[in-house]
Amino acid sequence: MTFGIDRLIADPALRAPLEGKRVSLVAHPASVTADLTHSLDALIAAGVNVTSAFGPQHGLKGDKQDNMVETEDEIDPVLGIPIFSLYGEVRRPTAAMMDTADVFLFDLQDLGCRIYTFVTTLLYLLEEAAQAGKSVWVLDRPNPAGRPVEGTLLVPGQESFVGAAPMPMRHGLTMGEMGHWFVRHFGLDVDYRVIAMEGWEPDSAPGYGWPTDRIWINPSPNAASLNMARAYAGTVMIEGATLSEGRGTTRPLEVLFGAPDVDAKAVLAEMSAFAPEWLAGCALRECWFTPTFHKHVGELCHGLMIHAEGRFYDHQAFRPWRLQALAFKGIRRLYPDYEIWRDFPYEYELERLAIDVINGGPALREWVDDAASEAGDLERLAAIDEAQWREDLRDILLY
């Protein structure tokens, strides 16, 4: 298959509308061609007049490790063009930034999850381009989590940098398709186009969204594998918990949880008794780890490792959002007074609990904490929203 950037570089006809235009690129370390040339270098080598570039959260270089670690603007020492940060003094491009180009190429590898902030960065770019009369092109890339949709819709009024609009946690779209949805949903008057992929088959084995002939490059420091990308729509919720998501280890966001004061084997037994069907599609393996930084640094943690890979992976059966909810529920049932929810500033939201910001509302947390709630209560809530979202997408799918 062929990614959007590779089609643009290979086909002069696709590049023709860029002639005589100033062009900007939104990119990160995974913004590379099939031969691993960074998109910025490939565009310049192809004769595109690149006059600026933008880096999202974690920076154009991808060197910023944690959330709320900002990147400064700079001048590229080789190219002499400004490199603007969309995760520093601003998260929305300013008028001065928009003045540096006529066409903005968006080439970010996404994970297919609403909370992954590149989704919101695309919305902000589209909104500012509409205001400034600029063009936005998405150079499309695969959604490594594929087409499955999962989670409750963000509740209106709960928007944040990790919640751009009323979409579920696992949205099932590519960034090119997401741009079409944003334009329609928000009624944006913007010149928008997608350089689509060729040959993407999100429902086909063995990759189910990720082509097995392309290597994995971290789009952010803790997105270290395809296994992580598949699990992320669940494991990202641990960022709002006191439990460890594996940051400070070599397998961050691939564990269902870890903590020094939790019996992981007992939690798994509790999960199996409460909603065994939510364990499907992957293997869970008991593990131990000692984080070198972040939560529980220097403490031996007992946890469960997720393996949504190899012969253990069932693409249609695996539901990471439900799986993570079930892990929280298992801990709550086993340890009724355990302080699961972490109260701290999260992605510039200072009033709401992080878990509510992450989920776009309090429904999941309230379900976990309600001793009388059953699996079916959350299932019914999510199923209604998932069906609504699937219906909403019917006319924007490109593949």
Q: Is the pLDDT at 347 greater than 90, yes or no?
A: no
Pairwise CA distance, residues 237 & 256, whole Å? 10
Span(s) in the chain for CATH 3.40.50.12170: 4-215
Dig out the tokens for 212 from the structure: 């097995």
Note the pLDDT of residue 39: 98
- DSSP state string for 42-74: HHHHTT--EEEEEE-TTTTTT---STT-----E
Span(s) in the chain for CATH 3.90.1150.140: 226-388
Note the pLDDT of residue 90: 93
Pairwise CA distance, residues 74 & 324, whole Å? 39
User: What length is written for the chain?
Assistant: 399
**Phi–psi pair at 58, nearest 5 degrees:** 80, -10
- The secondary element (H helix, E strand) that includes residue 307 is strand 301-307
pLDDT, tens digit (0-9, with 9 covering 90-100), for 280-314? 999 999 999 999 999 999 999 999 999 999 999 99
Instruction: Give the global pTM.
Output: 0.95
Dig out the tokens for 286 from the structure: 């008991």
Bridge partners of residue 54, in order along the sequence? 26, 84
pLDDT, tens digit (0-9, with 9 covering 90-100), for 5-51? 999 999 999 999 999 999 999 999 999 999 999 999 999 999 999 99
Q: Quick one: pLDDT band at residue 67, thresholds 50, 70, 90?
A: low
Q: Is the pLDDT at 86 greater than 80, yes or no?
A: yes
Pairwise CA distance, residues 280 & 234, whole Å? 14
Dig out the tokens for 360 from the structure: 């776009």
CATH number for 4-215: choose from 3.60.20.10, 3.40.50.12170, 3.40.50.300, 1.10.10.10: 3.40.50.12170
Note the pLDDT of residue 63: 75
Note the pLDDT of residue 70: 79
Domain 226-388 has CATH 3.90.550.10: no
For the chain, the average pLDDT equals: 96
Note the pLDDT of residue 257: 98
Q: Is the pLDDT at 71 greater than 90, yes or no?
A: no
Dig out the tokens for 63 from the structure: 């060197």
Q: How far is CA 295 from CA 66, 286, 330, 351, in A?
A: 12, 19, 20, 21
Note the pLDDT of residue 177: 98
Pairwise CA distance, residues 107 & 92, whole Å? 17
Q: Quick one: pLDDT band at residue 1, thresholds 50, 70, 90?
A: very high
In sequence order, the 6+-apart residues with CB closer than 8 A to the CB of 94 are: none
Q: Is the pLDDT at 62 greater than 90, yes or no?
A: no
Pairwise CA distance, residues 354 & 241, whole Å? 8
